[in-house]
């Protein structure tokens, strides 16, 4: 008996905090590369009409969208998220992860990223002002587009 081929790679987006320019890049890539893109959020999302793009609204608490992504993402998939614990979870499932600034999360850097995140959270919990994220620039959008193109090219080679 022959094993069934793996499902085609797809992109999962932690959409609650994903910048609009990144969603636009993903929508164009979905059409161009014919790759499924699913946005998951706690709120209703508007998406362009496409057979490759869908939105999934999840009900529930704080991590409901993260849990939905972690349950669905698998080997070969790409997850777009700023959430470092979610990135760690999907890496453990064999998926790849990048943030909207084009930074890759890898098995080699995720432990350090989690440690820094937890340290900063502890500081904030102690009342220390740590500042917010840097302003989102055109260079961040370009870095994301470059990482996405690399993933699309790698995915095409594995088909």
* pLDDT digits 0-9 by tens, 6-47: 567 999 999 988 999 999 999 999 999 999 999 999 999 999
As a whole number of angstroms, the distance between CA 131 and CA 12 comes to 28
CATH for 36 = 3.40.50
pTM: 0.86
Number of domains in the chain: 1
119 is a domain residue = no
- Which residue is it, tokens 């490759």? 52
As a whole number of angstroms, the distance between CA 147 and CA 37 comes to 16
Assigned token pair, 122: 């502890």
Q: Which domain holds residue 39?
A: 11-106
């Amino acid at each position: 008996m022959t094993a069934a081929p793996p499902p085609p790679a797809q992109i999962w987006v932690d959409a609650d905090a994903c910048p609009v320019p990144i969603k636009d890049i993903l929508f164009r890539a979905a059409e161009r590369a014919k790759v499924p893109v699913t946005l998951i959020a706690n709120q209703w999302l508007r998406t362009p009409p496409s057979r490759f793009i869908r939105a999934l609204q999840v009900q529930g608490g704080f991590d409901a969208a993260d849990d939905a992504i972690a349950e669905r993402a698998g080997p070969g998939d790409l997850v777009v998220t700023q959430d470092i614990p979610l990135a760690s979870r999907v890496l453990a499932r064999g998926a790849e992860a990048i943030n909207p600034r084009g930074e890759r999360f890898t098995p080699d850097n995720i432990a350090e990223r989690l440690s820094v995140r937890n340290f900063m959270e502890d500081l904030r919990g102690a009342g220390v002002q740590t500042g917010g994220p840097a302003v989102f620039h055109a260079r961040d959008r370009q870095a994301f587009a470059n990482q996405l193109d690399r993933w699309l090219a790698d995915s095409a080679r594995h088909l």
